[in-house]
């Protein structure tokens, strides 16, 4: 339950207007959920901006506690926009950052000092002297004094007016890892293995991640007048649920916020997806039984009871908060058969539609029998990783399949991989200056630094040729493999440019040229650097532009997942089964992407190689169908239709 004064203290009514605001007997922290993080971040930035302005009007200093990591990036972008376009000044702002790795130099691109300047401070008018970030380069003997003074300094400004937080998968806030005491203050702390492993992508390997950090304490955060915690994406969902619904415990330090009088968790739908009111709303109170919710609840009930659909009884429904659904549907017998059929009809071995057949109960149209298809692949291997089996079937069933690789994927090729190719080329033509130059660049550049243009070109070509290996294996001519090299990606660094009109124009051109009946695209938004999301945004923008053109009336869009996570059972609208042989063919197609095998540079938080992830996910989807009482397939690739 939220205390009355907590509601009164919420400074921005828009949280209640724009977000879904509800409290349930399960929830102990006020929280709001938005469809996506862009909108949510803009609202948080507005709250910060309003606070700064109101303090300015009273001639007061505004004391902000700031976080780093991926969560606050869009809030900072919006603050910069407010500064540049709406005249928001930061002259009266003093900031205290939550934490810094230890040991860490300011110049290191992984330091939080560097991060804050890159993402915020360099673009606003905050005086440098007003910026406070824990120091990562202190002599060990000076750490204690530094920490005590950090606390004193916060106090000298009257405490934090606003504290922005992210949440780690260990439940840490700041770097207060499990075990942190309620009364802890700024101090040196040892990082958890999970925290280090989550950071290992940015550091290009676990061994490079510092083992310690200096962090504000729990008590420092709890003393803030207002706390907003940001959580985006499905991989935060479990820990968010524990923080909001669990008991207060040092095992999940974010649960301490349950005792803070003015905290809001701001989340996107992915991060909120495990909250009881969202995952199983029928357990919380009356709900509107849409077809999607009905499907979700029946799938959940099967998992919960360990039964297949056709074995569910009236008692099962009644015991689990679903009696109103039974009242609507008649009886468990009718409902079970209906839901069994709904799921059965998602399964098809004809992803491009089955020619000359009644398609009223099939996921795809039978006409035209031979379709033109574009598979958009954000990186050069997502096509085969995520839908290699379906790709293979589409080709085998005679459709004209084009693959459009959206980005070059060049930053994911390691120096030693690139060196192999450069040395082979140089050995074939020892006089060639270009190869010599490339070898020189690779030898003299650290893995972290931006590559010379020639090296990037080589790395991009390696990925391009690997893709061609795979597409030839599946059986499409090279002319049907399109390498779009979208410009937003080409920074040579992990941080990309925002999507531009040029990117969207390239997408529009390829769609106009092919005039597809089907588009497949990655709806897999959990990749560590957000490239999939940008690539999907590029498609959505292109569809907005093209949707009134004649050929688009015949074009259906299917979203796939696979490299990073999978659709939930209730979301799947087309399920393409694979035989054991087809699973092997898919594996071989993925193997063409050799630069992404055996310890890839950007692994994310899943230590499995991509082909293993794909196989295990596809096997898992098949077994879920089987457990619900449907046929027992070796593997299934899953898709959800997108309506534009
Ligand atoms: C960062 C910090 C951490 C992060 C948390 C989530 O200053 O203190 O608590 O907020 O690890 O990180 P992201 O946002 O990268 O998921």
Give all domains of the chain, ordered by start, each with its CATH number. Answer: 29-277 (3.40.50.1360), 281-344 (no CATH), 372-409+453-642 (3.40.50.10320)
**Distance in Å, CA 68 to ligand 1 centroid:** 6
Cα→Cα distances 466→126, 590, 611, Å: 48, 9, 15
DSSP one-letter code for 281 = G
**Distance in Å, CA 526 to ligand 1 centroid:** 16
Contacts of 537 (CB under 8 A, 6+ apart): 499
| Per-residue model confidence (pLDDT) at position 4 | 33
| Per-residue model confidence (pLDDT) at position 604 | 58
| Per-residue model confidence (pLDDT) at position 10 | 42
**Distance in Å, CA 230 to ligand 1 centroid:** 9
- The terminus-to-terminus CA distance of the chain in angstroms comes to 39
CA 366, CA 353: separation in Å to the nearest integer? 4
| Per-residue model confidence (pLDDT) at position 8 | 33
CA 318, CA 442: separation in Å to the nearest integer? 66
**Distance in Å, CA 87 to ligand 1 centroid:** 29
Query: Ligand 1: which of 67, 72, 104 to mutate, judged by most atoms within 8 Å of the beta carbon?
Result: 67
CA 102, CA 234: separation in Å to the nearest integer? 29
67 lines ligand 1 (CB under 6 A): yes
DSSP one-letter code for 568 = -
Q: DSSP alpha helices (H): ranges in 484-574?
A: 501-514, 531-546
Short-list 260, 316, 303, 335, CA closest to 30: 260
User: Which residue, chain included where needed, has tokens 């293979």?
Assistant: 392
143 lines ligand 1 (CB under 6 A): no
Short-list 458, 511, 462, CA closest to 484: 511
Atom number, ligand 1, closest to the C-alpha of residue 236: 16
Atom number, ligand 1, closest to the C-alpha of residue 72: 14
Averaged over successive runs of 10 residues, the pLDDT of the chain (644 residues) comes to 35 45 77 91 97 98 96 96 98 98 94 96 98 98 98 98 97 98 98 91 85 98 98 92 98 98 94 94 92 96 98 97 95 97 98 96 97 97 96 98 97 92 95 93 81 94 98 98 96 84 98 98 72 92 97 97 82 97 97 83 67 93 98 97 95
| Per-residue model confidence (pLDDT) at position 603 | 57
68 lines ligand 1 (CB under 6 A): yes
Sign, CA dihedral 193-197-203-206, equals: positive
70 lines ligand 1 (CB under 6 A): yes
CA 191, CA 168: separation in Å to the nearest integer? 11
Consecutive H or E run containing 102: strand 99-102
**Distance in Å, CA 474 to ligand 1 centroid:** 42
Structure tokens at 449: 């630094």
Query: Ligand 1: which of 44, 64, 65, 68 to mutate, judged by most atoms within 8 Å of the beta carbon?
Result: 68
Ligand 1: residue whose CA is nearest its atom 11? 168
Short-list 462, 420, 499, 472, CA closest to 593: 462
| Per-residue model confidence (pLDDT) at position 448 | 64
Structure tokens at 161: 């007016």
Ordered DSSP codes for 171-185: --BTTB-TT--TT--
User: Hey, which residues are catalytic here?
Assistant: 177
Ligand 1: residue whose CA is nearest its atom 8? 174
CA 356, CA 590: separation in Å to the nearest integer? 33
**Distance in Å, CA 172 to ligand 1 centroid:** 8
Buried b (16+ CB within 10 A) or exposed e, 246-255: bebebebbbb
Buried b (16+ CB within 10 A) or exposed e, 338-358: bbbebbbebbbebbbbbeeee
Please check whether residue 240 is in contact with residue 167, taking contact to mean a CB–CB distance below 8 angstroms: yes
pTM beyond 0.75, yes or no = yes
Cα→Cα distances 273→64, 277, 322, 526, 557, Å: 29, 9, 19, 14, 24
Residue 103, preceding peptide bond in cis (omega within 30° of 0): yes
65 lines ligand 1 (CB under 6 A): no
Ligand 1: residue whose CA is nearest its atom 10? 166
Query: Ligand 1: which of 168, 170, 220 to mutate, judged by most atoms within 8 Å of the beta carbon?
Result: 168
Ligand 1: residue whose CA is nearest its atom 4? 166
Query: Ligand 1: which of 104, 165, 166 to mutate, judged by most atoms within 8 Å of the beta carbon?
Result: 166
């Amino acid at each position: 339950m939220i205390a009355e004064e907590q509601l009164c203290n919420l400074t921005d009514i828009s949280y209640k207007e724009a977000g879904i605001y509800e409290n349930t007997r399960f929830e102990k922290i006020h929280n709001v959920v938005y469809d996506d993080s862009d909108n949510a971040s803009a609202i948080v930035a507005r709250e910060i901006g309003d606070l700064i302005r109101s303090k300015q009007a009273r001639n007061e200093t505004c004391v902000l506690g700031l976080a780093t990591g991926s969560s606050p990036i869009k809030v900072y972008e919006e603050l910069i926009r407010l500064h540049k376009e709406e005249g928001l000044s930061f002259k009266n702002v003093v900031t205290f950052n939550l934490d810094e790795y230890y040991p860490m130099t300011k110049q290191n691109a992984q330091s939080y000092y560097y991060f804050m300047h890159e993402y915020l401070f360099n673009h606003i008018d905050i005086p440098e002297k007003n910026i406070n970030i824990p120091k990562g380069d202190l002599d060990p003997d000076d750490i204690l004094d530094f920490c005590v003074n950090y606390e004193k300094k916060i106090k000298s400004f009257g405490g934090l007016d606003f504290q922005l937080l992210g949440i780690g998968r260990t439940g840490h806030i700041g770097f207060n890892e499990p075990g942190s005491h309620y009364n802890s203050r700024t101090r040196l702390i040892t990082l958890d293995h999970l925290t280090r492993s989550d950071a290992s992508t940015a550091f290009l390997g676990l061994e490079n991640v510092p083992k310690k950090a200096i962090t504000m304490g729990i008590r420092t955060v709890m003393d803030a007048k207002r706390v907003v915690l940001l959580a985006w994406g499905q991989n935060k969902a479990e820990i968010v649920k524990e923080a909001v619904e669990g008991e207060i415990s040092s095992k999940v330090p974010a649960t301490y916020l349950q005792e803070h009088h003015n905290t809001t968790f701001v989340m996107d739908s992915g991060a909120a997806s495990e909250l009881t009111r969202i995952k199983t709303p029928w357990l919380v109170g009356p709900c509107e039984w849409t077809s999607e919710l009905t499907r979700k609840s029946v799938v959940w009930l099967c998992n919960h009871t360990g039964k297949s659909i056709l074995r569910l009884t009236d008692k099962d429904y009644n015991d689990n908060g679903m009696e109103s659904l039974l009242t609507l549907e008649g009886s468990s017998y009718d409902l079970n058969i209906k839901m069994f059929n709904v799921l059965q009809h998602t399964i098809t071995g004809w992803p491009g539609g089955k020619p000359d057949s009644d398609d009223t109960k099939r996921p795809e149209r039978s006409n035209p029998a031979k379709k033109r298809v574009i598979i958009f692949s954000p990186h050069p291997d997502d096509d085969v990783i995520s839908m290699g089996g379906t790709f293979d079937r589409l080709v085998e069933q005679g459709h004209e399949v084009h693959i459009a690789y959206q980005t070059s994927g060049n930053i994911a090729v390691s120096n030693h991989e690139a060196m192999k190719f450069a040395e082979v080329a140089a050995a074939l033509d020892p006089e060639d200056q270009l190869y010599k130059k490339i070898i020189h660049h690779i030898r003299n550049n650290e893995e972290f630094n931006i590559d010379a243009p020639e090296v990037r070109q080589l790395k991009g070509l390696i990925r391009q040729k690997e893709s061609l290996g795979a597409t030839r294996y599946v059986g499409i001519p090279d002319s049907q493999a399109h390498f779009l090299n979208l410009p937003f990606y080409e920074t040579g660094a992990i941080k990309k440019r925002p999507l531009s009109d040029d990117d969207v124009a390239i997408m529009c051109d390829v769609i106009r040229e092919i005039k597809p009946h089907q588009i497949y695209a990655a709806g897999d938004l959990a990749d560590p650097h957000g490239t999939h999301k940008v690539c999907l945004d590029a498609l959505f923008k292109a569809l907005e532009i093209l949707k009134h053109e004649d050929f688009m009336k015949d074009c259906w869009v299917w979203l796939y997942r696979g490299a990073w996570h999978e659709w939930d059972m209730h979301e799947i609208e087309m399920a393409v089964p694979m035989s054991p042989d087809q699973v092997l063919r898919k594996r071989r197609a993925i193997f063409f992407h050799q630069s992404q095998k055996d310890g890839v540079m950007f692994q994310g938080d899943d230590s499995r190689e991509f082909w293993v992830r794909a196989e295990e996910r596809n096997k898992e989807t098949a077994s879920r169908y089987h457990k619900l009482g449907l046929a027992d397939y070796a593997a299934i690739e899953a898709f959800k239709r997108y309506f534009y």
